[in-house]
Amino acid sequence: MIKILLIEDDLEISDLLTQYLSRYQMEVIAYENPKSALASLGIESYDLVLLDLTLPDMDGLDVCKMLRERSEIPIIISSARSDLGDKVIA
């Protein structure tokens, strides 16, 4: 089973993604708080990260950098930001 770390502060989007991906035998572990999600990396092993760039307490780009410093885990960016530059940087 594929295990996905979802970092998303919008509970509706988080629930929707979790329900949808579970249909395809993917286990989604969702966090609203990016610091908690990063802490889970020391405890859990994930196959993929779904990362929102607009998060509370920490910018998603910073989370992306921290993830990359710790792991080579694939990251998919999910963002409503209109700035193409942020998406390219991520």
Domain boundaries, the chain: 2-89
Q: Which fold has domain 2-89?
A: Rossmann fold (3.40.50)
- Predicted confidence (pLDDT) per residue in 4-34, tens digit: 999 999 999 999 999 999 999 999 999 999 9
Query: Is 17 strand, coil or helix?
Result: helix
Rounded distance between C-alpha atoms, residue 30 and residue 55, angstroms: 13
**pLDDT tens sequence across 39-88:** 998 888 999 999 998 888 898 899 999 999 988 999 999 876 556 665 56
Structure tokens at 64: 């992306």
